[in-house]
Amino acid sequence: MIRKAFVMSVHAGYEQEYKNRHNPIWKELEEEIHRHGGRKYSIFLDRITKTLFAYIEIEDEQLWKKIDETPVCKRWHAYMKEIMPSNPDDTPVSRDLEEVFHID
Protein backbone atom coordinates (compact mmCIF):
# COMPACT_ATOMS: atom_id res chain seq x y z
CA MET A 1 0.00 0.00 0.00
CA ILE A 2 1.05 3.56 -0.70
CA ARG A 3 0.45 6.03 2.13
CA LYS A 4 -0.72 9.48 1.00
CA ALA A 5 -1.35 12.60 3.01
CA PHE A 6 -2.59 15.99 1.89
CA VAL A 7 -4.04 19.18 3.28
CA MET A 8 -7.12 21.15 2.30
CA SER A 9 -9.20 23.67 4.22
CA VAL A 10 -12.78 24.52 5.05
CA HIS A 11 -14.27 28.02 5.06
CA ALA A 12 -14.67 29.53 8.53
CA GLY A 13 -18.12 28.86 9.90
CA TYR A 14 -18.61 25.71 7.82
CA GLU A 15 -16.70 23.28 10.01
CA GLN A 16 -19.82 21.52 11.32
CA GLU A 17 -21.40 21.45 7.86
CA TYR A 18 -18.23 19.83 6.49
CA LYS A 19 -18.45 17.19 9.20
CA ASN A 20 -22.19 16.66 8.59
CA ARG A 21 -21.67 16.12 4.87
CA HIS A 22 -19.22 13.33 5.62
CA ASN A 23 -21.36 11.56 8.20
CA PRO A 24 -22.48 9.45 6.57
CA ILE A 25 -20.50 9.74 3.36
CA TRP A 26 -22.44 8.85 0.22
CA LYS A 27 -22.35 5.07 -0.16
CA GLU A 28 -21.65 5.38 -3.90
CA LEU A 29 -18.66 7.65 -3.15
CA GLU A 30 -17.28 5.19 -0.63
CA GLU A 31 -17.63 2.42 -3.22
CA GLU A 32 -15.83 4.54 -5.83
CA ILE A 33 -12.98 5.22 -3.40
CA HIS A 34 -12.61 1.47 -2.89
CA ARG A 35 -12.84 0.77 -6.65
CA HIS A 36 -9.94 3.18 -7.11
CA GLY A 37 -7.83 1.37 -4.52
CA GLY A 38 -8.45 3.66 -1.54
CA ARG A 39 -8.41 2.21 1.98
CA LYS A 40 -8.13 3.60 5.51
CA TYR A 41 -9.21 7.11 4.56
CA SER A 42 -9.32 9.67 7.39
CA ILE A 43 -9.71 13.44 7.44
CA PHE A 44 -8.84 15.52 10.51
CA LEU A 45 -9.82 19.14 11.19
CA ASP A 46 -7.68 21.75 12.93
CA ARG A 47 -10.46 23.99 14.26
CA ILE A 48 -8.08 26.92 14.83
CA THR A 49 -6.66 27.16 11.31
CA LYS A 50 -9.54 25.42 9.45
CA THR A 51 -6.93 23.10 7.91
CA LEU A 52 -8.04 19.62 6.92
CA PHE A 53 -5.40 16.89 7.10
CA ALA A 54 -6.27 13.83 5.01
CA TYR A 55 -4.65 10.41 5.07
CA ILE A 56 -5.40 7.52 2.74
CA GLU A 57 -3.74 4.30 1.73
CA ILE A 58 -3.95 3.50 -1.97
CA GLU A 59 -3.02 0.50 -4.09
CA ASP A 60 -1.84 2.30 -7.21
CA GLU A 61 -1.02 5.97 -7.89
CA GLN A 62 -2.26 5.92 -11.52
CA LEU A 63 -5.58 4.30 -10.59
CA TRP A 64 -6.10 6.78 -7.74
CA LYS A 65 -5.47 9.78 -10.02
CA LYS A 66 -8.48 8.75 -12.16
CA ILE A 67 -11.03 9.06 -9.34
CA ASP A 68 -11.65 12.79 -9.88
CA GLU A 69 -13.00 12.01 -13.37
CA THR A 70 -15.80 9.75 -12.11
CA PRO A 71 -19.38 11.08 -12.12
CA VAL A 72 -19.83 10.57 -8.37
CA CYS A 73 -16.63 12.49 -7.55
CA LYS A 74 -17.64 15.33 -9.84
CA ARG A 75 -21.01 15.54 -8.06
CA TRP A 76 -19.26 15.42 -4.66
CA HIS A 77 -16.85 18.20 -5.58
CA ALA A 78 -19.72 20.38 -6.84
CA TYR A 79 -21.57 19.67 -3.57
CA MET A 80 -18.55 20.65 -1.45
CA LYS A 81 -17.27 23.69 -3.36
CA GLU A 82 -19.39 26.20 -1.45
CA ILE A 83 -17.88 25.25 1.91
CA MET A 84 -14.20 24.88 1.01
CA PRO A 85 -11.65 26.52 -1.30
CA SER A 86 -12.01 24.90 -4.72
CA ASN A 87 -10.31 24.94 -8.10
CA PRO A 88 -12.15 26.00 -11.29
CA ASP A 89 -13.00 22.31 -11.95
CA ASP A 90 -14.60 22.12 -8.45
CA THR A 91 -11.88 19.87 -7.00
CA PRO A 92 -10.75 21.03 -3.57
CA VAL A 93 -7.61 23.11 -3.36
CA SER A 94 -5.10 20.72 -1.82
CA ARG A 95 -1.39 20.15 -1.35
CA ASP A 96 0.25 16.75 -1.13
CA LEU A 97 2.50 16.19 1.87
CA GLU A 98 5.81 14.37 1.79
CA GLU A 99 6.22 11.48 4.19
CA VAL A 100 9.39 12.01 6.21
CA PHE A 101 8.91 9.40 8.93
CA HIS A 102 6.94 6.20 9.45
CA ILE A 103 6.91 3.45 12.02
CA ASP A 104 4.74 0.33 12.12
* pLDDT one-digit tens code per residue, 7-44: 999 999 999 999 999 999 999 999 999 999 999 999 99
Total-model pTM: 0.92
Amino acid in position 8: M
pLDDT in tens, 74-102: 999 999 999 999 999 999 999 999 999 99
Phi, psi at residue 25, to the nearest 5°? -70, 150
Is residue 22 annotated as part of the catalytic site, yes or no? yes
What was the pLDDT predicted at 6? 98
CATH number of the domain at 2-97, out of 3.30.360.10, 3.40.50.11740, 3.30.70.100, 3.40.50.300?
A: 3.30.70.100
Of these residues, 11, 22, 36, 102, which one is catalytic? 22
Beta bridge partners of 5: 55, 97
Contact 43, 22 (CB under 8 A): yes
